[in-house]
Amino acid sequence: MAALMISIFVAAMDATVVGTALPTIARELGSFELYPWIVAGYLITGTTTVPLWGRLADIRGRKPVLLAGLVIFVVASALCAWSPSMLWLIAFRTLQGIGAGCIQPLVFTTVGDIFPLEQRARLQGFFSSMWAIASIVGPGLGALFVSTIGWRWIFTINIPIGIAATALLWGYSERKQPVVDARLDVRGAVLLTGAVTLLLVGLGTGSKSGTPQWPIAVIALGLLVFFARFEWRSRNPTVPLHLLRHRVIGPAILIGLMAGTLMFGVTAYLPLWVQSVQGGSAYEAGVAVAAMSLGWPVASSLSGFAMIRIGYQRLVVIGAVALVAGATMLAVAQPSGGLLWVGVASAVIGLGMGTFTAPLLIVIQSSVEWAERGAATALNQFSRTIGGAIGVALMGIVVQRYVGSTNDPLLAREELYRGLHADFIGLVVLAAAVLAAGIAVLLVSRRQKVGARASEVASAGG
């Protein structure tokens, strides 16, 4: 249990500690137009390899696969700390994402293997809370490093934590599980990685003007179509698209996709708002991001208990309402509004995420057999991080279109305000879509229950 907790903690720390340092990294290494790729590159590989890791765990077992992911993550962290330029940092962050893509889904899959449903509901909430606790510590730690010994230590700190997790996991004795006869869909993973990367480049991510390059975007869409056709025919797909037909898993994945876009968007761009628009310090940016995690552990733990009583559908609706409220607060924020307003907005969004994240995962795991549990768990993580990768990149395009003509984008306060304000309005629309999806799931569930009861009454009367 300790090994799993530390493993999820090191992945969570890296995901949260970097956000606070992003403006400082861009200021030191230059190439502000590449700002989104520090996050997007990490998320793309962390997304496209998740199903691959999940399937590999179904074939080879959880322990050896999780160990491999930890080793890749630690080595890449050391390389990120060494990076001499923005391009090198993006390359090593991309490698780091491959390792991170293994850790979280494999930890949650292992918990699903070890514990029965009744305990799993509580433990999944507990492990989600570990992510939230790391999210509270991470932004503050990132601010501390940036303000003292330098941003490179946000990556160096992963090394001893990762080594400790690897040592503890090495002594874990894994139970023998049924042998799964399956092959890895490496071709599918490569196709998806290339298609998503080209799509983001084609839409303008990384260019100084944010101008789309439509020929590249069209090629990317063609690759995505080819990928989808290839996956439908594959016996062991990277993305098990057949699971999307499931009446529970399909809506859950859609909700996770949209919620992930919102969550990673806030993590990547709220520090830029606080430091460059409001004129705050790295510490204040860390507080704003950490606020998103203050409500997360409480909501996540309570949702594990509440799901058994009120059902996951209502929890999704409750969480989505919180997302709409938090995103709206960000959309109406002003440069002179101060830290308190955006901090509360961030905390409300954290409450929303914590309310439905664990219940959705439990429902997804409980809807498939053991042989597909790893792939289904990975698909859940896939949806959230692919949403984050695309969302962060698109938000970066919007910001770049406002600041592209300025000499120093990080000092262009008015232009940054307009760009980030437009991004936050987009997050409101996204949160509203999550709420609409949650209400739809709740209504469909009620109709199915009414239909089932009517059938029972008709059978009894006959």
Tokens 């709740």: give the residue.
442
Nearest to 349 by CA among 368, 333, 361: 333
Q: Does the pLDDT of residue 456 top 50, yes or no?
A: no
Considering the entire predicted model, what is its pTM?
0.79
Q: What is the mean pLDDT of residues 237-262?
A: 80
Mean pLDDT, the chain, as a whole number?
80
pLDDT of residue 457: 35
174-227 residue pLDDT tens: 665 555 556 677 788 888 888 888 888 888 887 777 778 888 889 999 998 888
Element (DSSP H or E) covering residue 109: helix 86-114
DSSP 8-state secondary structure symbol assigned to residue 374: H
pLDDT of residue 344: 93
Provide φ and ψ at 295, rounded to 5°: -85, -15
Q: Does the pLDDT of residue 452 top 70, yes or no?
A: no
Q: How far apart are CA 398 and CA 85, in angstroms?
A: 24
3-state secondary structure string, 144-179?
Answer: HHHHCCCCCHHHHCHHHHHHHHHHHHHCCCCCCCCC
Q: How far apart are CA 387 and CA 390, in angstroms?
A: 5
Q: Does the pLDDT of residue 359 top 80, yes or no?
A: no
pLDDT of residue 459: 45
Q: How far apart are CA 96 and CA 156, in angstroms?
A: 13
pLDDT of residue 318: 87
Query: DSSP states of 192-231 as a string?
Result: HHHHHHHHHHHTTTT-SS----HHHHHHHHHHHHHHHHHH
Q: 265 near 272, Cβ under 8 Å?
A: no
141-176 residue pLDDT tens: 888 888 888 899 999 988 988 888 888 777 666 665
Top pLDDT among 396 and 115 is at 396
pLDDT of residue 404: 75
Domains of the chain plus CATH, in order, are: 2-172+181-457 (1.20.1250.20)
Q: How far apart are CA 28 and CA 236, in angstroms?
A: 44
Residue 377: helix, strand or coil by DSSP? helix
Amino acid at 374: G
